[in-house]
Structure 1
Amino acid sequence: MLKEFRDFIARGNVMDMAVGIIIGAAFTAIVSSVVEDLINPIIGLFTGGIDFSNQFIVLSGRGDYASLETAREAGAAVFAYGSFLMAVVNFLIIAGVVFMLVKAVNRAKEAVSRDPKAPVVEEPAGPTELEVLMEIRDRLKA
């Protein structure tokens, strides 16, 4: 059983998936930092200093909370639309980068699979339709 498990783990697909998950987790931290530390301040410049990650609406009660964190600590039900918008921005950035990476990997695989030194072999062309019809005609005459 231990040998089967070791063989399963040693397969390329499982190892590739594990590496992908680890890199994905690290990449998510980088993208979160880009959004929080770079994109939010730029958006804040255009919106008059509004921090979108701290935008919320209190759904329960009439509490006047200074921040999303204090509203959550007080146990108020909040609609944190700013956090949601930032999650959407994170997703779009990650999806865009993953798309570009997959596209680059596919191009690299294509380039490797094509050998520029290999001669292009043209398949012999079969008889044309006219030649086939003429052959049928000739056989029918005979």
Structure 2
Amino acid sequence: MLKGFKEFILRGNVIELAVAVVIGTAFTAVVTSIVNNLINPLIGAIFNAQSLDTAWPVTIPSITGEDATIHFGAVVGSILSFLIIAAVVYFVFVLPMNTLKERAEAKRKAGRPDPDEPESELTLLSEIRDLLAERPTGEAHQPKH
């Protein structure tokens, strides 16, 4: 039982996932700070609200007498946070990793024909010629008389 648990914990995917969660949490704190302390006040000043959380309020009358208020600014703030996080993740992590992956793939394929492409007759004939040229002259097939 402990051996299975040890194997599970030491798998690369579990460790990578744990690191991703920690980095994601720290990154979320940075983005939240940017939105709350930079973007919210700017938009709040434009729309005469204290922050995005209180911007664009819509009050809905209630039967019980207590009106409900929808704050569309809070939704916009959440969307901005998501877009900022998505942009940074893409440009800082995904794009560089894809570029490195493409470069490694190009290096690996350098000098080798694409296996999906069928070889042309000219290529095959050139290979046969080269193989025949490499053979010693004594091995050539001599016709019988």
Q: TM-score range by the shorter chain?
A: 0.5 to 0.7
Q: What is the 5 A alignment of 1:1-142?
A: 1-48=1-48, 51-55=51-55, 56-59=57-60, 60=62, 77-100=68-91, 101-115=93-107, 120-121=110-111, 123=113, 125-127=119-121
Q: Does the aligned pair in 1 maintain the 2:44–2:51 contact within 8 Å?
A: yes
**Structure 1's 119 and 105: CA in aligned 2 closer, same or farther, altered over 3 A?**
closer
Distance 1:105 1:120 in 2: 20
Per-residue deviation at 1:119?
A: 9.5
Secondary structure of 1:121's counterpart equals: coil
Which residue does 2:135 correspond to in 1? none
Q: Does the aligned pair in 1 maintain the 2:41–2:52 contact within 8 Å?
A: no
Distance 1:119 1:26 in 2: 38
Structure 1 residue ranges without an equivalent (≥5): 64-75, 132-142
**Structure 1's 44 and 31: CA in aligned 2 closer, same or farther, altered over 3 A?**
same
- How many residues align? The count is 115
Secondary structure of 1:102's counterpart equals: helix
Distance 1:81 1:35 in 2: 15
Q: Which amino acid in structure 1 is aligned with residue 121 of structure 2?
A: P
Q: Which amino acid in structure 1 is aligned with residue 75 of structure 2?
A: F
Distance 1:36 1:6 in 2: 42
Distance 2:110 2:2 in 1: 49
Per-residue deviation at 1:85?
A: 1.1
Structure 2 residue ranges without an equivalent (≥5): 126-145
Distance 1:81 1:15 in 2: 39
Rg (Cα) greater in structure: 2
**Structure 1's 77 and 48: CA in aligned 2 closer, same or farther, altered over 3 A?**
closer
Distance 2:109 2:87 in 1: 37
Secondary structure of 1:78's counterpart equals: strand
